[in-house]
Structure 1
Amino acid sequence: MEQQFSPKPHRLYLWLGTVMCVAYVIGFIPLANFFPPPSPSWDSARLTAWIVEHRLGIQLACVLMILGGTVCGPWGAALAVWTRKTESRFPLLYATQLSSLGSGVCIIIIVNIFWAAAAYRAGETSPEVTQALWDLGWFLFVFAVPPFIVWFVSFALGILWNPPEHQLFPRWSAYMTLALCLNWITDVVVIFFKGGQWTYVGFIGMWLIFGTFSVWVSVMSFLGFKAVSRQEQICRQEAAEDVPHDHPSAASRIRANTPTPE
């Protein structure tokens, strides 16, 4: 029985997905002016001059995106918990989700640390050093997708292998998640390009992954809210069934949990 289910923390953590996306969009576009970002084909002097010109916006964006990226942890945990019953006493997929999720959160934070470090002394230190820090930030942002792929695959398998009585996420959401993994694995090729759409600032190399991840967060948050509502309904039904039928409140509980004919 799961009569102690409390929906409030689940809904709170699911809302953090929206906070994460909004924080990153605001930081990425209006503050850091990453629309479009500097091309990796720029020389170090040109890049440094651009960073100096946009220093304050980049620094504010990094602070906002670090805060937004941090809440990816509780948001991801609010999804992972729904696949916990897949494995009973030996939750390997569940543990993999949490460990890879933690790695992903660290990457999100370190990305912004490198960008912030590049902006911190831009114009004061060697332009080559500034450019190296800048490139490291972008490589982490795009190139370091494997932990996210491990997270996604574990989550998708947790959905597909969940027993029918605990299946609160539709199977198509698992297939959508696996399809995103196939799309993202190609981003490792950004290390070979400095121009075109396969660079770390190109449409295929960066914007596609940025956009699809945002859509995935929105879809899974919506499905997460539906799962919480469904679990509330299950708990009410279980509570009504546990009350003896001769108990004064039994009839009223049963009536409250009986669907109204349409």
Structure 2
Amino acid sequence: MDEKLKFRFYRLSVWCGAVVLVAFIIAFAVVGKLNPPPSPTADAQQIAAFLTGNRTRILTAVVIMGIIAPLFYPFAVVTSLQMNRIEGGWGLLSMIQLTTAVVAPTGWLYPMAVLATAAYRPNRDPDLMLLLSDQFWLTYVGVAVIFVVNVAIIGVATIVDRRPEPVFPRWFGYLNFALAIILLPGVFVYVSADGPFAWNGVFAMWLPAFAFLIWKVAMIYVLLRAVRSHEHESLQPAVA
């Protein structure tokens, strides 16, 4: 493959991550009206009213994510390819990042498909709607703990990089460690029905959501920077 074309593909893969981020915000918060989430203490009638009243919006949001979420795969791969430069080839860190990142689209789509199931039939038993709604929020928020490993590994790779011109700036490594810590409380939704660790709480939902948004924008920035330096290194010998 032509080297310049290869790096165009790399940049396109980075921008795929931006498309997924924007589409997710639109689908989840604007179209689906899923922010703020319903209270874990809401009863079956309240949840049934929410699902039936937002049925079309929820189903449309799932369709949007079903179309856009697979674009996360190129983003995940180009991240591992840049970590590959740090390790001098495929190694433990780049492989862990890749294998944990491929969970992301499923981690979004599967819970949303469960919510679509709850909203799909408006005449469904409210208790069943409540059950499916609980499964959605517990899975959607609780599964974020998987990405603790993903972002922590990116942080480790950043800090151990000893190249004269590091692939990622050092501050980005510490940002990944911070996000890993912030994402960790999401696992406590399984034992919390109210308070800051519930699925609508500050430590389980809101703080991780805002931190993830900041991290994602930073990730796109440093990846574009890394691809640019990678292209420069690759084309230097040809120019010489």
Above 0.5 in TM-score? yes
| Cα deviation 1:119-174 (Å, max 9, x = unaligned) | 112x3222121111111111121111232111112222222223414622111101
Spell out the pairing of 1:229-244 with structure 2 (5 A cutoff): 229-241=228-240
- Residue in 2 aligned with 1:246? none
- Residue in 1 aligned with 2:48? 48
Stretches (4+) displaced over 3 A: 85-90
Spell out the pairing of 1:190-201 with structure 2 (5 A cutoff): 190-201=189-200
**Residues 83 and 158 of structure 1 are in contact (CA less than 8 Å); yes or no, is this contact kept in structure 2?**
yes
Gaps of 5+ in 1: 242-262
C-alpha distance in 2 between matches for 1:165 and 1:105: 35
Q: Secondary structure at the match of 1:152?
A: helix
**Residues 83 and 162 of structure 1 are in contact (CA less than 8 Å); yes or no, is this contact kept in structure 2?**
no
**Residues 184 and 209 of structure 1 are in contact (CA less than 8 Å); yes or no, is this contact kept in structure 2?**
yes
Spell out the pairing of 1:58-97 with structure 2 (5 A cutoff): 58-88=58-88, 91-97=91-97
- Residue in 2 aligned with 1:119? 119
C-alpha distance in 2 between matches for 1:84 and 1:43: 50
C-alpha distance in 2 between matches for 1:152 and 1:42: 33
Aligned residue-pair number: 238
After TM superposition, the score normalised by the length of structure 1 is 0.84
**Residues 85 and 167 of structure 2 are in contact (CA less than 8 Å); yes or no, is this contact kept in structure 1?**
no
Percent identity over the alignment? 26
C-alpha distance in 1 between matches for 2:12 and 2:89: 27
Spell out the pairing of 1:49-198 with structure 2 (5 A cutoff): 49-88=49-88, 91-121=91-121, 123-165=122-164, 167-198=166-197
Superposition RMSD in Å: 1.9
- Residue in 2 aligned with 1:249? none
Instruction: Give the C-alpha shift of residue 102 in structure 1.
Output: 1.3
C-alpha distance in 1 between matches for 2:107 and 2:234: 38
Instruction: Give the C-alpha shift of residue 24 in structure 1.
Output: 1.2
Q: Does 1:38 align with 2:54?
A: no
**Residues 156 and 177 of structure 1 are in contact (CA less than 8 Å); yes or no, is this contact kept in structure 2?**
yes
Q: Which has the larger radius of gyration?
A: 1
C-alpha distance in 2 between matches for 1:107 and 1:56: 22
Structure with the bigger percentage of helix: 2
- After superposition, the Cα gap between the structure-2 partners of 1:139 and 1:152, relative to the gap in structure 1 and judged at 3 Å, is same
C-alpha distance in 2 between matches for 1:22 and 1:226: 20
Gaps of 5+ in 2: none
**Residues 86 and 167 of structure 2 are in contact (CA less than 8 Å); yes or no, is this contact kept in structure 1?**
no
**Residues 85 and 166 of structure 1 are in contact (CA less than 8 Å); yes or no, is this contact kept in structure 2?**
no
C-alpha distance in 1 between matches for 2:64 and 2:211: 21
